Structure 1
């Protein structure tokens, strides 16, 4: 269905589209960086001099982008789901989006908590700045945060895969003229 006044299909506000793609690139790059850095030997200086600091920086950036996107969604709203989507599909999409936002906020906070409690951490690096560590050093707590951070990050990756699969399904298989991908481009 097109807007009868402008002839355009309903789309996300431009600011939401820009933030969405910036956040997506940031998160996927950060996950790749995380896999790369943990695969390195601890004796490899680049792991701690470059890998961890930039993983932390991009994690904080992803967190901030998620908060900005939530704020913009509240301000500009989002287009209604495509009328061609069934009720169960609409509910599944909503649940997936809520879970994505919860994890986009929780994963960086868990990483921050892990780094803050890790006794050997040299701080929370954010592109040249060092942010305060708000929790005390505690090996046992750091191990818990580390494990929960990893599980949450893999859960986020799974939800991203589900999100992308849904977008591809609506675009290629349903041939929906109001598919989410065309409204996000």
Structure 2
């Protein structure tokens, strides 16, 4: 197998690309599940299933982000051609740092919210709940839920910025930003 120098490779390594798109799908799923669970009555099986799906989408994102960070560290970052100006490069780096923080912080906040509110996170297709490491404190749980929701809403905008920037680079700047992830 031929080794390609990271400085000349046009795309991220396969594992990084796959993890990027799997995580994107999971983020969409988490948002859809939480936004539409309220369409069902409290305590109903569909509402509970949607919340369990939301919990597991978040937990899966939390697990995958560590694999993605490791794969990205091993695989390197292919260069953007033509290179970004200094301001755009800084904005891109800050946006990516914010996204990675989001992938870590949101699932932790979500799990803590569920735990403090006394909600069970069931192992899929079972009635076995994950252990709860804290005592129920519904008031604190509601505060965490508010923070979790506020960050989630903020990240609609950050994720939107990320998508629009990729499209801007592809359609108008005509650089390889998007192509590196395809």
Matches within 5 A, 1:1-185: 10-42=10-42, 44-48=44-48, 50-119=49-118, 121=119, 123-128=120-125, 130-176=129-175, 179-185=176-182
**What TM-score comes out, normalization by structure 2 length?**
0.88
Residues 95 and 126 (structure 1), Cα distance of their counterparts in 2 relative to 1, 3 Å cut: farther
Of 143-152 and 72-81, deviating more is: 72-81
In structure 2, the gaps of 5 or more residues are none
Q: 1:43 to 1:133 in 2, by over 3 A?
A: closer
Task: Give the count of matched residue pairs.
Answer: 175
Q: Conserved in 2, the CA contact under 8 Å of 1:12 and 1:183?
A: yes
Alignment RMSD (CA, Å) = 1.9
- The CA deviation at 1:24 is 0.4
Equivalent residues of 2:9, 2:78 under 8 A apart? no
Q: TM-score, normalised by structure 1?
A: 0.87
Give secondary structure in 2 for the equivalent of 1:125.
Answer: coil
Deviation at 1:43, TM superposition (A): 5.2
Deviation at 1:9, TM superposition (A): 5.3
Q: Deviations over 1:53-97 (max 9, x none)?
A: 111111101111112111111222212344332110110000000
CA contact (8 A) 1:56 1:125 kept: no
Q: Is the 8 A contact 1:116 1:135 kept in 2?
A: yes
- Cα distance between partner residues in 1 of 2:61 and 2:114: 16
Q: Distance in 2 between matches of 1:72 and 1:11?
A: 13
